[in-house]
Amino acid sequence: MGSQWGYDRTHLRAKHEGYRSRAAYKLLEIQHKFAIIRPDDNIVDLGAAPGSWLQVERTLTQAKVVGIDLNPIAALDGVETIEGDLNDPEIQKKVVTMLGVVNVVVCDASPKLSGHKSYDQARIIELNEQALAFACKVSKQGGNFVVKSFQGTDFPELYAMTKQHYYSVKTCITRSTRKGSTELYIVAKNFVG
Ligand X SMILES: C[S@@+](CC[C@H](N)C(=O)[O-])C[C@H]1O[C@@H](n2cnc3c(N)ncnc32)[C@H](O)[C@@H]1O
Binding site for ligand X (CB under 6 A): 20-21, 23-24, 47-53, 68-71, 85-87, 108-111, 127
Tell me the CA distances in angstroms from 55 to 40, 106, 125, 126, 154, one per residue in order. Answer: 16, 13, 26, 27, 32
Cβ proximity to ligand X: between 84 and 142 the closer is: 84
Cβ proximity to ligand X: between 70 and 96 the closer is: 70
Minimum CB separation from ligand X for residue 161, in Å?
A: 18
Whether 117 sits among the annotated catalytic residues: the reply is: no
Minimum CB separation from ligand X for residue 124, in Å?
A: 10
**For residue 110, which amino acid is it?**
S
Minimum CB separation from ligand X for residue 27, in Å?
A: 7
Given CA atoms 116, 119, 124, 127 in this order, what sign does their dihedral have? Answer: negative
Q: CA-CA distance, 79 to 61, in Å (whole number)?
A: 11
Cβ proximity to ligand X: between 111 and 142 the closer is: 111
Q: In what order do the strands lie in the sheet with 65-69?
A: 80-83, 65-69, 43-46, 102-107, 139-150, 183-191, 166-172
Beta strands in 8-71 (DSSP E): 43-46, 65-69
Dihedral angle of Cα 25, 29, 34, 38, to the nearest 10 degrees? 50
Q: CA-CA distance, 147 to 106, in Å (whole number)?
A: 6
Minimum CB separation from ligand X for residue 167, in Å?
A: 25
Cβ proximity to ligand X: between 92 and 190 the closer is: 92
Q: Any idea how long the chain is?
A: 193
- Among 93, 148, 163, 170, the active-site one is 148
Nearest to 112 by CA among 154, 175, 70, 171: 70
Minimum CB separation from ligand X for residue 111, in Å?
A: 5
Cβ proximity to ligand X: between 112 and 141 the closer is: 112
Active site residues: 148
